[in-house]
C-alpha cells in the first residue's frame, strides 16, 4: 500500500504546510491585483512569491547562494528539502517525479528535473509529468502505481510553476483571466487568477496506506474547453469510487478555477456520480491557479484537513452559479468521515481523480 509520508508547500502564504494550512483556515489569500504585469496592458490579479523572501529562506535552509538557481528551481528545491528533511530518500529505490506545465521556458523540463534530482543525490532517472493542469495529481497517481508494482519503494513528487509573460498572455488571449479575485462556482465568477507555488509529497510503501486509488481519463472533447457532459471527469470519478462508501466521504477537493465552463463541468460531474450532498472545497481563491503545482497543493492541504477532521471553505463563493446543485463549503466545517476525493481537469480534455483516507 502507499502512504503520504511527508509533504510541503511553498507559496505566498508560507514556506511550510502548517503555515499554509493555518492561513487558508483563516481565509487568507495570496492574491494581489497588479497593473501592467510583464509589460502587458491592464490589471491582473495573481498570486506571486516575493523574491527577497524566497532567496532569504533558500540561503538560510541550504547555505547556498540563491543567485545560482532560477526562481522555479529555488521553489522546488526548498519544497523538497523541507519535505525530506527528516527522511532518507537518497537510494536506488527512490524515484523523483517533477510536475510542471511550462517551467520557466529557459530550459527543458527534463533539464530542470535532472538538476533537482542531482542536487539531492537521487540516483534514478527523473520522471517529468507535464499534462496541463492535471500534471500534479497525475504524478501522484503514476508514482503510487510504480510503488504498488514493486518497481520502487519511495517517490518524491514535486510540482512547480511560476508566472511568466507567456502563460499570462496565453490565458488572457482565451479571455479566461479575471482582474478581480476569483469566485469559484459563484454566479458572479468571471475567470481565473494565475499563481505560482511549489508543493511536494513523499510517498512510501507501507502496510497501512492512505492513498486509496487514482484514475486518469481523457475525453478529448476540445483543446481548451471542458466536456459539456463531463464525460472524462465522470469516468475518472466512477473508477476511483468503486470500492468507497460514499456516505463516508468527508469532502471533494475541486479544481474550481472560477471559469464559466470548468465550474459547470465539475458540478455536472459531481452531480452525475451522486456526490451532490458532499461538501465541496475549492482553494483557488487562496492561491489562484498554480498550474502544475495545483493538484499537489490541493492534495496536501486536503489531506491535512482530513487528518484534522476539518473541511476548508471555498473562499470567494457566495451564491451558486452552476446549473447542478452541489454542496459548496461556505465555511470551515468539522467532519468525522474517512475519505476525501480530489478532482481536477485540464486543457485537452484531461481529467484525473483520486481518493485518500485517514490512516
Please report the pLDDT score of residue 307 as a whole number: 97
Q: What is the pLDDT of residues 259-308, one digit of tens each?
A: 999 999 999 999 999 999 999 999 999 999 999 999 999 999 999 999 99
| Grid cell digits, residue 172 | 488572457
| Domain 211-357: which CATH number of 3.40.190.10, 3.40.50.1580, 3.40.47.10, 3.40.140.10 | 3.40.47.10
pLDDT digits (tens, 9 = 90+) for 187-234: 999 999 999 999 999 999 998 899 999 999 999 889 888 998 999 999
Of 99, 343, 346, nearest to 220 by C-alpha is 346
pLDDT for residue 242: 96
The pLDDT value given to residue 359 = 82
pLDDT digits (tens, 9 = 90+) for 63-97: 999 999 999 999 999 999 999 997 777 678 999 99
Which cell numbers in the block locate residue 89?
A: 530518500
pLDDT of residue 91: 73
Q: What fold does the segment set 2-205 form as a domain?
A: Peroxisomal Thiolase; Chain A, domain 1 (3.40.47)
What is the Cα–Cα distance from 132 to 297, expressed in whole angstroms? 15
Q: Measuring CA to CA, which residue among 151, 93, 81 is closest to residue 124?
A: 93
Asked if domains 2-205 and 211-357 share a fold, the reply is yes
Q: What is the DSSP letter of 98?
A: E
pTM over 0.85: yes
Residue-wise DSSP of 322-346 = SSS--EE--S-EE---SEEEEEEEE
Q: Can you state the angle between helices 17-25 and 294-308, rounded to 10 degrees?
A: 70
Count the residues in the chain. Answer: 359
The confidence score (pLDDT) of residue 90 equals: 66
Nearest to 291 by CA among 106, 103, 74: 103
In whole angstroms, give the CA distance from residue 198 to residue 297. Answer: 8
Please give the pLDDT value at position 240: 98
DSSP category for residue 210? S
Please state, in angstroms and rounded to a whole number, the distance separating the CA atoms of residues 196 and 179: 17
Could you state, in order of their start, the residue ranges of all structural domains in the chain?
A: 2-205, 211-357
94 with 152: CB under 8 angstroms?
yes
Amino acid at each position: 500500500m502507499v502512504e503520504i509520508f511527508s509533504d510541503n508547500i511553498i507559496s505566498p502564504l508560507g514556506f511550510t504546510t502548517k503555515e499554509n494550512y493555518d492561513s487558508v483556515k483563516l481565509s487568507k489569500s495570496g492574491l494581489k491585483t497588479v497593473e501592467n504585469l510583464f509589460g502587458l496592458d491592464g490589471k491582473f490579479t495573481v498570486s506571486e512569491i516575493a523574491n527577497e523572501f524566497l532567496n532569504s529562506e533558500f540561503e538560510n535552509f541550504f547555505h547556498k547562494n540563491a543567485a545560482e538557481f532560477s526562481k522555479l528551481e529555488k521553489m522546488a528545491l526548498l519544497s523538497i528539502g523541507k519535505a525530506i528533511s527528516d527522511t532518507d530518500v537518497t537510494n536506488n529505490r527512490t524515484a523523483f517525479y517533477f510536475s510542471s506545465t511550462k517551467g520557466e521556458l529557459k530550459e527543458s523540463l527534463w533539464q530542470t528535473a535532472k538538476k533537482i534530482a542531482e542536487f539531492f543525490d537521487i540516483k534514478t532517472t527523473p520522471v517529468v509529468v507535464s499534462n496541463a493542469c492535471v500534471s500534479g495529481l497525475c504524478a501522484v497517481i503514476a508514482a503510487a502505481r510504480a510503488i504498488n508494482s514493486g518497481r520502487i519503494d519511495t517517490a518524491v513528487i514535486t510540482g512547480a510553476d511560476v508566472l511568466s509573460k507567456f502563460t499570462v498572455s496565453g490565458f488572457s488571449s482565451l479571455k479566461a483571466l479575471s482582474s478581480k479575485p476569483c469566485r469559484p462556482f459563484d454566479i458572479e465568477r468571471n475567470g481565473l487568477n494565475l499563481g505560482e507555488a511549489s508543493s511536494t509529497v513523499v510517498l512510501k510503501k507501507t502496510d497501512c496506506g492512505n492513498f486509496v486509488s487514482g484514475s486518469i481519463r481523457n475525453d478529448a472533447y476540445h483543446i481548451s474547453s471542458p466536456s459539456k457532459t463531463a464525460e472524462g471527469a465522470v469516468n475518472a470519478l466512477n473508477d476511483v469510487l468503486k470500492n468507497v462508501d460514499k456516505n463516508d466521504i468527508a469532502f471533494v477537493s475541486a479544481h474550481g478555477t472560477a471559469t464559466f465552463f470548468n465550474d459547470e463541468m465539475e458540478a455536472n460531474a459531481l452531480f452525475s456520480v451522486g456526490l451532490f450532498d458532499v461538501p465541496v472545497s475549492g482553494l483557488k481563491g487562496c492561491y489562484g491557479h498554480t498550474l502544475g503545482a495545483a493538484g499537489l497543493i490541493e492534495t496536501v492541504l486536503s489531506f491535512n484537513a482530513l487528518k484534522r477532521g476539518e473541511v476548508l471553505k471555498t473562499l470567494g463563493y457566495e451564491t451558486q452559479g452552476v446549473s447542478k446543485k452541489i454542496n459548496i463549503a461556505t465555511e470551515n466545517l468539522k467532519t468525522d468521515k474517512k475519505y476525501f476525493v480530489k478532482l481536477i481537469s485540464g486543457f485537452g480534455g484531461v481529467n484525473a481523480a483520486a481518493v485518500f483516507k485517514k490512516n
